[in-house]
Amino acid sequence: MKRNINREILVYDGVPETAVHILPEFVVDTEQEVEEAAREMRRTGKTKIIIVTSPQHTRRVKALWEKLVGDNPAALVHAAHDDPFDISHWWRNTRDIFSVVRETLGLVNVWAGLPVRPKSD
């Protein structure tokens, strides 16, 4: 259901429907999402992807892409415009503080070679 809503929003915002591709596999974390996107791009012969994410996620997503995929295929990571995260005043509320702390720890994990893995049930 959510996949169809996301597709509809993108098309409504002017993205050509043929440019929207929904990943075939369900993903549970950013690392798996990066790996699945790169795998699907290689399978379909795509060379570039634009990843739109929350402003606080952009640096970690780019670092993960570089660590796991490299530059082929290439990724452009872009922050969503309407995200409520206040990048200029993130220390003023607990939601944004927790986001920054979580992203910082995630970035350190990437830089350290991903020694901390997601919990698998």
CB 101 within 8 A of CB 77: no
DSSP state letters, 8-67: HHHHHTT--GGG----SS---SHHHHHHHHHHHHHHHT--EEEEEE-GGGHHHHHHHHHH
Q: 119 in a domain, yes or no?
A: no
107 alpha-carbon distance from chain centroid:
13
Q: Total domain count for the chain?
A: 1
Q: Looking at residue 76, what DSSP letter applies? A: E
Q: 80 in a domain, yes or no?
A: yes
Q: 45 in a domain, yes or no?
A: yes
Q: 92 in a domain, yes or no?
A: yes
Q: 116 in a domain, yes or no?
A: no
CB 79 within 8 A of CB 58: yes
Q: 106 in a domain, yes or no?
A: yes
Q: 83 in a domain, yes or no?
A: yes
Q: 62 in a domain, yes or no?
A: yes
pLDDT score recorded for residue 25: 77
Task: Please tell me the pTM assigned to this model.
Answer: 0.82
CB 13 within 8 A of CB 100: no
pLDDT tens by residue, 78-111: 998 888 888 889 899 999 999 999 999 999 999 9
**Residue 72 belongs to what domain range?**
2-111
Mean pLDDT along residues 38-45: 94
Highest-confidence range of 19-28, 48-57, 58-67, by mean pLDDT? 58-67
12 alpha-carbon distance from chain centroid:
21
Mean pLDDT along residues 57-70: 96
Mean pLDDT along residues 53-71: 95
